[in-house]
Amino acid sequence: MIISPTVIAGEAGYTTSRQLRQAWDVGAFSQTWSMGGLIVSGKLNTDHGKGLWKSYERFTPPISEDMLNALALVGVKHPSSYADCYHQIAPATMRVKRTINAIFDFWSGGPWQEARTCGTHSGTWYRYDICSAYRWAAMLGLPDMSSVTVWSDRKFDPDVPGLWVVSLDKYDRTRRNLPRLLLGDGPVVLSTEEMRLYDLRPERVHRAVTWSRWMPFNFVEDTLVRLPCAKEAGRAYWGRWIARDKLTCRSVNNKWSLCNNVANFVWGWLIVGRVRSRVWQASQYACHVYVDEVLVPHELPTGEGIGDWRLKERYNGIQVKRTGWYGTPSGASIMQTGVPLNHRAILQ
């Protein structure tokens, strides 16, 4: 499998999304697959050898030909992403009913990202992240979807494992110590684990999915450890379970869409909620949180194992401008998300 700056007739491999688009525009592809308006895969027509080409830009960090060769040895063929590396060799699971996923489809909560206290802060600040946070979250167990029960009228029970669509009471909706994405008047999606940890009192339970059995606690990890890119796949494997973007297929004469047939919002939101909860436990004095990171004015216990806190950097003072954007008091940027690299500047 080759990685090339251009699409090559008679070959199969990886190139840029721009090159995939150009190959389609000149009629070299008989079919393409797109997500979010970008072509992610294309199949060369008969005249050009029928090779399948994919975008290497979906791999972060960039994938290498050596890694692709190592993946092929464990049964991963021409993956489209690091998440695909996991899903190609993961054990087959039952397809989740659309009606179950639809209960949680409205929720866009996602990972926790928040500037908790903007401005300039003196003293020593510590930037920590969780080692392999999403691998750790799966190791706490995933529900056996053959044991689930769907509820439309049930009181919250802290002793029953489940995922709940709830409206919080007036007190909890305004608690400043909670992640901001849980606040406000609308319903939110929370697991039993989160409700107990945050000590929440739901005003109303709209819908819920509970379960009575768990998958083996090493269900995800047993697949990840087989991969030569276990670390990268461990960051990404869960995203496919809550992916909403349809895959658009296009041939010379037709166009159609494919839905995500491995969607499992119960697993996805349970995993995201666990990482969010772990960050919350260390965030009491944090000035900034970002997915699996905290920026705090005190030290945390650290380790090298999955799920341990790891010290990334130490700063003498910190300036927080907004969520995803902070730097040193002198104005040098440390994190600056949402801004193209060639437009990044010092804090102002």
DSSP 192-238: HHHHHHHT--EEEEEEEEEES-B--TTTTHHHHTTSTTHHHHHHHGG
Q: Which domain holds residue 15?
A: 2-96+217-258
CA angle 139, 143, 148 (to 5 degrees): 175
Q: Is residue 194 part of a domain?
A: no
Q: Is residue 142 part of a domain?
A: no
- Are residues 73 and 35 in contact, defined by beta-carbon separation less than 8 angstroms? no
Domain count, the chain: 1
Q: Is residue 105 part of a domain?
A: no
The pTM assigned to this predicted structure is 0.92
Cα–Cα distance between 33 and 39 in angstroms, integer? 6
User: Helices (DSSP H) in 238-347: which residue ranges?
Assistant: 265-281
Q: Is residue 16 part of a domain?
A: yes
Cα–Cα distance between 290 and 305 in angstroms, integer? 20
Residue 348 — pLDDT band, cuts 50, 70, 90? Answer: very low
- Token duo for residue 242: 């809550």
Q: Is residue 324 part of a domain?
A: no
Please provide the average confidence, as pLDDT, over all residues in the chain. 94
Q: Is residue 67 part of a domain?
A: yes
Cα–Cα distance between 328 and 318 in angstroms, integer? 5
Residue 1 — pLDDT band, cuts 50, 70, 90? Answer: confident
Cα–Cα distance between 88 and 108 in angstroms, integer? 27
- Are residues 160 and 151 in contact, defined by beta-carbon separation less than 8 angstroms? no
Q: Is residue 240 part of a domain?
A: yes
pLDDT tens across 68-106, in order? 999 999 999 999 999 999 999 999 999 999 999 999 999
